[in-house]
Chain A
Amino acid sequence: MTTIGAPVSTGTEKAAGGWITADGRTIGEIMMEMRNITLRFGGVTAIEDISFDIRKGEIRAIIGPNGAGKSSMLNVISGFYVPQEGEILFHGAQRPPMRPYEVARQGIARTFQNIALFKGMSTLDNIMTGRMTLMRTGMASQALWWGKAQAEESAHREAVEKIIDFLEIQTIRKTPVGRLPYGLQKRVELGRALAAEPKLLLLDEPMAGMNVEEKEDMSRFILDVNDEFGTTIALIEHDMGVVMDLSDRVVVMDYGKKIGDGTPDEVRNNKEVIDAYLGVAHD
C-alpha cells in the first residue's frame, strides 16, 4: 500500500520513483531536469544558478514577483534562449543546444504570456499548425493534393476536431482568430499547443487578464489535460489561488534566484517566499 505523499519504491529503480497524489494521480520519474542554469543578457543576470526538475505527470508551477526570470526560464526550456551555464536533461539525456523548432519536435509545446496566435488564420488552421511537427508528406504530394497529402490532412483534422470538442470551441472553428475575444484566443492558443500532443506543456500565464469564470474554465481545461492525456505541465501564474489549487509542486523565483521549491503548503510557509512577496521590514 502506498501512503499518500510519500515516495513510492519501484524496486528496480533507485530514488527516481515518484508518488501518488492526494487525488490519485501518479507522479512519475524525472522528465526534465535543469542543472545550475545561468542566463545573462549583457551585464544583467536574468537567471542565476537555478536547478529544479519536472516529473512526469505533474503540474509544476513557477511563481515569483515581476521580473523574477520566470518567462526567461520557460524560454530556456523551449530553446528560445540558450543559457550561458548549466545543463538541461530531458528524459535523462543531456540536451545539446538546439533551435526552438527542434525542441518542439522533442514533444515540448507552449503558450505565450501575450497571445501569439496567427491572426490571419482561422481557429482550425491555427490548431492544425500546432500539428506541424507530426506531419510528414512532402511538398510534391501536397502540391498535387492527391492521396497521401489529402489522407494525412483528414487524419490530422480528425485529431484537431477532438481538441476543438475538448475545448468547447466548435462554433468558432472557421472564424479568423483576430476577431475572437481574449478569453477564447487564450483557449485557441492552448488548443494549438495541445495539437502537437506534447509530453511537456509549458503555459506562460494562462490566466492573465481573465475574469473568474474564464479562470475557472481554464483551470478545468488544465486539470483535464493533465488527467486525460497524462500531459506534464509547467506553468507560470500570478494568481496564487490558482497556483496553490492546481499545482503539485512549486518553484519560487526572485531576482533570478530560486528561493523556494516544494509542495504548495511548504512554499506557502517558507519565510523567504513570504519576504519576497510581502517585503521585509528594514530596521
Chain B
Amino acid sequence: MNAPWPPISSLIIVPALGALGCLAPWFSAKFDKNARVCRLWAIAVSVFTLVILAAFAGAATATPGYVLGLEEVHPWIPSLGISFHLKLDGLSFAFTLLTAVVTLAVVAWPSRPATAGAGWYALLLVGEATVMGAFLATDLVLFYVFFEAMLLPVLGALALWGGAARLNAALKFLVYTMVGSALMFLSILYLGWHAQSMGHTLGGNFLFEITTLASLKMLTSSEQLALGLAFLLAFAIKIPMVPFHGWLPDTYREAPHGLAAFTAALLGKVGIYAIIRFMWPLFPDFMAQAGVYLAAAGAIAVVYGALVAMTQKDLRSLLAYSSVSHLGFCVLGVAGVSTMAMTGAVFQAVSHGIVTAALFLTVGVITDRQGARDFDRLGGLAKAVPVSAFFLMVFSVAAVALPLTSSFVGEFLILVGSWKLFPIWTGVAALGVVLGAVYTLTAYLKTMFGPLHPSDAIAGGDVRGSSALVLAALAGLVVALGVVPGGLLEVISPAVQVSSTSSLMADSSILQAFKR
C-alpha cells in the first residue's frame, strides 16, 4: 500500500494545529485587534487545508482512468484491534471538499459573535478537524470518536455565543445526539467482538475496520436488523430525518450565523455519508429490505419539511426546515442500489452544504441590519441592500434547484435515479419541487419585495468587502458545479458503487493484506 504524500491525516492535523495556534498567547493578549489577526491565521490554515485536498484531487485526475482511493494506517490501540485507519476515496473526497470549503467561508466571514475572540476561530478549526476525521475514518471506533468529538466545538460555540435560549438548545442537541450514538457504540463493540469470535482479528484482537468487516459477511439477517436499526437511529438524528429533528430548529435558531452555517452545512452530512460508507457494506440485507422505508422517510421528510417551512415567519426557522426538506432528497437517494441516485445524493449533500451555508450567512447580514428575523418586521429591502438581495436571489434560485446550479444536478440524479426502484416515493419527493418554490419565493418576497419596512434598529449595511467576496466565491462554486459537475460526479460514482454493491463483490485483496 503506497502511503500518499502529503499524508491523508494532514487534513485533520493541519486544522487541529491551526486551532492550537489560535490559542497562542499573542492572539488573546489584546482582545479585538488580535482576533482580527487570528481570523487571518484561521483563513490561512483553512486555505492550506483546501490546498492539500486539491493536491490529492490533482494527483488523481492527472492519470486518466485512475480511481481516487488513498489509505493511511497507523496502529492506535493494537491490543483492541483499533487502528488509526483513514481512507480518501471519491466519497470521502466529496465530503472533505465540502468541509474545507465551508470552513474557509465561515472563518473568512468578517462578522463573528460580538463577544467572541480567538476562541471562535479555534473552535471552528477544531470543528473542521473533527468533521474531516469523521469523513475519513474507516475504523468504526475511530469514526465513532470523531462522530462524537465534532459535537464538542459546536456545542461549545453554541453555549458561549448563542442567542437567549442557547443553553436549552445546546442541552437538547447534546442529549439527542448522545442517545442516538449510544446504541451505535454498542453495535460497533458487538461487531468487533463478533469478528474476533469468528477468528478474524487485527493483530490478535478485535477488528473494527469497515472494509474487512463488510467482506466477512458474518451477520445473520436478524443481527443486521438489530445493528442496522441502531446505526440508523444515530444517523437519523444526525441528518436529521423526520421525526428525529426535534433538536434542529432550536439549534439553528440560537446559533450565531457562522455556527449555524457550519452546523447546517456539515454535521447532518455525516449521517448521509455514514449510511453509504458503513450501513450499505455492513448490513446489505437490512438495507435492501429497509430501502423502501428509507425512501418513504426521505420523501415524507421532503414534503414535511417544506410544509412546515411554509408556515415559518422566522427566516432562520424557515432555513432550518428547508434543510429537513432538502436532506430528505439525500435520504431518498441513498435508499436504493442505484449508482445514479446515490451519486446524486452525495452531490446534493455537497451542494446543499454550500447553498445552505451561504443562505445562513446572507440572511445573517439582513437580519443583523434590521434587528429582526420575522417577516412582519422585514420587507422591501431590495432597494436598501441590493447586493444582499442579489446574493439572496442567487442562493434562493439554487435552493429551488434551478438547472445550471449545483442543486439541480443532485435533485435530478436522485429523482431520475430513484424512479425505477421507488416510483411512488420519488413522485412524492418531487412535490418538493413545487413546495420548495412556494416557501423560498415567499421568504424572498416578504424580505426583499414590497414597500420598505420602516425599521427602528438599523445596524450595519449591505454585504460588502470580504463578505461579498465570500458569497461571490460560494455563488461561483454553485454555478461551476451546476455547469460542469462531471469531474466531481466521476470521482463520486465509483466510490458509491463499491460501497453499495460491496456485498456482491467483496474486496478480498484488503482482507489478504491483513492476513499477511
The answer to whether A and B come from one shared complex is no
